Amino acid sequence: MPKPDRYDYIIVGAGSAGCTLANKLGADTSKSILVIEAGPMDRDLLIHIPAGVYRAWRDPKLNWNYLTEPESNLLDRQVDMPRGKVVGGSSSINSMVYMRGHPLDYDAWADHFGLTDWRYENCLPYFRAGETYAKGSNSYRGDSGPLGVHPGDFDNPLYDAFLEAGEQAGQGRSDDLNGFNPEGVARLDATKRHGRRCSAAVAHLRPALKRGNVTLMTRTMVKRLTFDGTRATGLICDFGSKELRLEAEQEVILSGGAINSPQLLMLSGIGPADHLNRHGITPLLNLPVGQNLQDHASIILQFESLHSYPIHRVDRIWNKARVGAQWVFTRRGIAASNIWEAGGLIRGNDTVPYPNLQYHFGPVGFEYVGDKIQLRQAFAIHVDQLRPRSRGEIRLASANPTDKPLMHFNYLQDPFDLQELVEGVQKTRELVAQPAFDGLRGAEIDPGPEVQTAKDVENWIRNATVTDFHPCGTCRMGHGDDCVVDDHFRVKGLQGLRVVDASVMPRVISANLNAPTQMIAARAADYIAGQPQLDPIKAPFAFQN
């Protein structure tokens, strides 16, 4: 329990953004910083064993376990929406894939949303400064940052076949999707260091806590923000059986993510006025909080493997013990792998300006039976639609902070999104049909050989679409009336309050969101502290017209 009740900065959420902010802002040891996390400390060993993620992320003690509202375009199914409720946030329970997104994503923020300071050349120096890349530095990669990043190196012939097949199918090949060539199939990077997960808590928060000016409160539920007029002064939270009032001398920073940050804003009277009134909340400021919700819809294709590899049998009890012992003593082997060590950014058709589909490839098949994962002698390919046109919203279920918010993602509401996933099925089947998989490829499990007509594929997609865990956009940054924060993350119309997390993205990045979120937070820390931004890096990138 912290002794003082006043701090220079209070950060709500110890996830990817909150940990990064605490580390950078805390470098000035004259500043006192409080980080508040609703979940526990990240002590569970399965968090830190890379392959343990497939148990850890389903643990209700570490996960908010959100569900969407019934999605009308997914046969009224509710979609599981895991979010980290633990120190490190979702970076402690995700699959550790490190992807920055395509340079044109950031240039589009500048060109389409007037965010001129968010071009790729302005973001690249923060990506470089934030990482230590195991292969060393170059114009794109850093070697002295807090986040450990390691390229995939787990040996399995199915990875090799996937990469060769991508070339044979004409889908391209890249040595580094985060480098010069952000297109094609490749071995993927992971947020790992010495065979262990390198979460935002490991990379950023632990060093920050050692300085002595950063305090962490876990298992603490923030109920609402407090204001003096239009200035945020702090918050009220439940800590154990006590209700505490904590005050911020300079700023309160919300880093709860695309679901929790808009929820807390609305509970505090900041959001659509008519919606707040319906829940008996007096509006302080009418802003489009909770709108512009976006995510990467994902489908998973699986194929039998004609060869059995050790990874296919790792769920057997004696194999688990052997693999676990190997990791404990060497930090190597299957347990040191995040499994999705290959993937790609590809184009579903010839008209898109840059890749609109993403692969994550794993050399093992699986299904969940209850809360347990059952492995198959197979391989699996996630296919994500990267730039959806459908938009959803976050809404309050009630004025009770403990009630989970209502989330309508409206997956596939726009027919364009369904068509791109249809193309994703076609591209994946083309890739797996290539000679590189001859002798390795068995029967198609999902969707299955009986799913052939366009209508059959569409029906399967509606029944099979899930999330790839990348919600964003609900506190959009920009300059118009449809924005919640400005390009320095200040909540419009208020003082002393910012939102810094994936919710500020005006448009979802065309890849996984953990790395972009940490980059955003690192830039935000410099804005908040009044430090100059890092010098732009005008590094070229491969681009096919």
Tens-place pLDDT, residues 140-191: 999 999 999 999 999 999 999 999 999 999 999 999 999 999 999 999 999 9
> Each residue of 35-82: pLDDT tens digit?
999 999 999 999 999 998 877 877 889 999 999 999 999 999 999 999
Work out the mean pLDDT of the chain and round it to a whole number: 96
**Is 95 annotated as a binding-site member?**
yes
How would residue 2 be classed by pLDDT, with cut points 50, 70 and 90?
very low
- pLDDT score at 53: 83
**Is 96 annotated as a binding-site member?**
yes
User: Quick one: three-class SS letters along 64-104?
Assistant: CCEECCCEHHHCCECCEECCECCCCHHHHCCCCEECCCCHH
- The CA distance from 357 to 463, in Å, is 19
- pLDDT score at 537: 97
User: How far, rounded to the nearest angstrom, does the alpha carbon of residue 483 sit from its chain's CA centroid?
Assistant: 21
- pLDDT score at 370: 72
The answer to whether the 1-128+196-293+395-411+472-531 and 153-187+297-385+412-464 domains have the same CATH topology is no
pLDDT value at 371 more than 80: no
Q: Residue 273 is which amino acid? A: A
pLDDT value at 4 more than 60: no
**Is 97 annotated as a binding-site member?**
yes
Query: Residue ranges per domain, the chain?
Result: 1-128+196-293+395-411+472-531, 153-187+297-385+412-464
Taking residues 329-347, report their average pLDDT.
95
How would residue 3 be classed by pLDDT, with cut points 50, 70 and 90?
very low
- Taking CA atoms, 151 is separated from 141, 176, 432, 495, in Å, by 12, 9, 23, 42
- The CA distance from 464 to 385, in Å, is 14
Give yes or no for a contact between 258 and 293, defined as CB atoms under 8 angstroms apart. Answer: yes
Q: Which residues contact 394 (CB under 8 A, 6 or more apart)?
A: 258, 259, 262, 263, 289, 290, 293, 405, 406, 407, 474
Return the bridge partners of 67, or none.
Answer: 80
**Is 222 annotated as a binding-site member?**
yes
- 3-state class (DSSP) for residue 280: coil
Taking residues 474-478, report their average pLDDT.
98
**Is 12 annotated as a binding-site member?**
no
How would residue 544 be classed by pLDDT, with cut points 50, 70 and 90?
low
Strands of 131-133's sheet in order across: 97-98, 189-190, 147-151, 131-133
Q: How many residues does the chain have?
A: 545
Query: Phi and psi dihedrals of 262, rounded to 5?
Result: -65, -35
pLDDT value at 274 more than 90: yes
In CATH terms, the fold of domain 153-187+297-385+412-464 is Cholesterol Oxidase; domain 2 (3.30.410)
Taking residues 338-353, report their average pLDDT.
96
Taking residues 115-136, report their average pLDDT.
97
CB atoms within 10 A of CB 322: 16
- 3-state class (DSSP) for residue 50: helix
Residues noted as catalytic? 470
Pick the CATH number of 1-128+196-293+395-411+472-531 from 3.50.50.60, 3.40.50.10490, 3.30.70.1350, 1.20.1050.10: 3.50.50.60
**Is 86 annotated as a binding-site member?**
yes
Give yes or no for a contact between 416 and 389, defined as CB atoms under 8 angstroms apart. Answer: yes
pLDDT value at 1 more than 50: no
Taking residues 317-332, report their average pLDDT.
89
In the chain, pLDDT over 70 holds for what percent of residues? 99
Pairing of strands 372-376, 285-286: unpaired
- The CA distance from 92 to 85, in Å, is 9
Query: Would you state the structure tokens that stand for residue 409, as one six-digit string?
Result: 């993602």
Give yes or no for a contact between 306 and 297, defined as CB atoms under 8 angstroms apart. Answer: no
Return the bridge partners of 305, or none.
Answer: 441
**492: exposed, middle or buried (Cβ count in 10 Å: 0-12, 13-18, 19+):** middle
> Each residue of 480-493: pLDDT tens digit?
999 999 999 999 99
- The CA distance from 109 to 115, in Å, is 6
- The CA distance from 234 to 5, in Å, is 10
Please name which of 390, 388, 378 lies closest in space to residue 441, comparing C-alpha atoms. 378
Check residue 146 and report its DSSP letter.
Answer: S
Q: Over the Cα atoms of the chain, what is R_g?
A: 22
